[in-house]
Amino acid sequence: MPEPVETIHATSLAGVPHAFLGRRGGVSTGIAAGLNVGFGAGDDPAAVAENRRRAADAVLPGAPLVAVHQVHSPDCVIVEQPWGDDRRPTADALVTRLPGVVLGIVTADCAPVLLADPEAGVVGAAHAGWRGAHGGVLASTVAAMESLGARPSRMIAAIGPAIAQPSYEVGDDFRAAFAQTDWRFFAPSRAGHWQFDLEAYVAARLQQAGVGHIERLGLDTYADETRFFSFRRMTHRAEGNYGRQFSLISLPSPS
């Protein structure tokens, strides 16, 4: 009996088909063992395809999965009809008012953000690493949802598993890329180093964009190896590659 896909849900998104996934429930082996859904992990393409199918079915069985080619940009695309994995546009967020389509973004320490305005019937998903969050991907996502009829004050945003502040040490040059008003997200570490609170920074950017309700799940991808993939953990171990996990959201299929 295969291990079931583990689905992690945000309380605030109850009633909206969604899930933050980890590495449990997949067919990949080796460094990317488990539910690796990333094409860049050096994994067997057939295993990745099966994992992506399992992931989407865990949220909305049989629904098409729509994803993007992520590059840490501020760009968001509007999904008006599904596309295949071989036709993914380059972007780091996607939104839709199309029912029965699963939106997906991949992460491996960056913060996944799922958003919904249930009243307007609009959902979105964003890949918010420090570059994307700093560069405006969350504001772009909120603006794209607004263009479809959503209102920021009604939006719900949930921040899923990401590298946590105790696991995220950075240097002085990293902190220097941020405005001094954002230095509150950095705690002192050893000389010349800081601990960066990505989750809190992402929440602040969502608040700046006017999002009405923000939920932080507080799950650390770096620290929980049995549950999540982590780019930084791979880097520290010099393993050469790493798996990626999905965060997914959808509007229910029409009855």
Mean pLDDT across 237-244: 86
Task: Say if residues 63 and 101 touch (Cβ distance below 8 Å).
Answer: yes
User: Is residue 10 domain-resident?
Assistant: no
Say whether pLDDT at 211 is over 70: yes
Q: What is the model's pLDDT at position 1?
A: 56
Label residue 255 by pLDDT band (50, 70, 90): low
User: What is the extent of the structural domain holding 33?
Assistant: 15-250
Q: What is the model's pLDDT at position 154?
A: 97
Q: What is the model's pLDDT at position 37?
A: 95
Residue 149 Rama label (left phi>0; alpha psi -120 to 50; beta): left
% of the chain exceeding 90 in pLDDT: 89
Question: Could you give the CA distance from residue 196 to residue 203 in angstroms, rounded to a whole number?
Answer: 13
Q: What is the model's pLDDT at position 189?
A: 94
Say whether pLDDT at 184 is over 90: yes
Mean pLDDT across 86-110: 97
Task: Say if residues 126 and 132 touch (Cβ distance below 8 Å).
Answer: yes
Domains in the chain, number:
1
Say whether pLDDT at 238 is over 90: no
% of the chain exceeding 70 in pLDDT: 99
**Between 239 and 21, residue with greater pLDDT:** 21
Q: What is the model's pLDDT at position 21?
A: 98
Q: What is the model's pLDDT at position 239?
A: 84
Checking DSSP bridges between strand 193-196 and strand 169-171, what pairing results, if any? antiparallel
Q: What is the average pLDDT score of the chain?
A: 95
Residue 138 Rama label (left phi>0; alpha psi -120 to 50; beta): alpha
User: Is residue 36 domain-resident?
Assistant: yes
Q: What is the model's pLDDT at position 40?
A: 82
Question: Could you give the CA distance from residue 22 to residue 2 in angstroms, rounded to a whole number?
Answer: 15
Say which CATH number the domain at 154 has. 3.60.140.10
User: Is residue 5 domain-resident?
Assistant: no
User: Is residue 255 domain-resident?
Assistant: no
**143-171 residue pLDDT tens:** 999 999 999 999 999 999 999 999 999 99
Q: What is the model's pLDDT at position 240?
A: 81
User: Is residue 44 domain-resident?
Assistant: yes
Mean pLDDT across 184-188: 97
Q: What is the model's pLDDT at position 254?
A: 75
What would the two tokens of residue 134 be?
């700093």
Mean pLDDT across 78-93: 95
Q: What is the 3-state secondary structure (H, E, C) of the chain?
A: CCCCCCEECCHHHCCCCEEEECCCCCCECHHHCECCCCCCCCCCHHHHHHHHHHHHHHHCCCCCEEECECCCCCCEEECCCCCCHHHCCECCEEEECCCCCEEEEEECCCEEEEEEECCCCEEEEEEECHHHHHHCHHHHHHHHHHHCCCCHHHCEEEECCECCHHHCEEEHHHHHCCCHHHHHHEEECCCCEEEECHHHHHHHHHHHCCCCEEEECCCECCCCCCCCCCHHHHHHHCCCCCCCEEEEEECCCCC
Say whether pLDDT at 2 is over 70: no
User: Is residue 82 domain-resident?
Assistant: yes
User: Is residue 7 domain-resident?
Assistant: no
Question: Could you give the CA distance from residue 19 to residue 7 in angstroms, rounded to a whole number?
Answer: 5
Mean pLDDT across 192-203: 98
Nearby residues of 249 by Cβ (< 8 Å), 6 or more positions away = 13, 16, 17, 18, 59, 102, 103, 114, 115, 116, 123, 124, 125
C-alpha pair distances (Å), 38 with each of 1, 47, 226, 241:
24, 10, 18, 11
User: Is residue 4 domain-resident?
Assistant: no
Say whether pLDDT at 66 is over 70: yes
C-alpha pair distances (Å), 202 with each of 53, 162, 216:
29, 11, 10
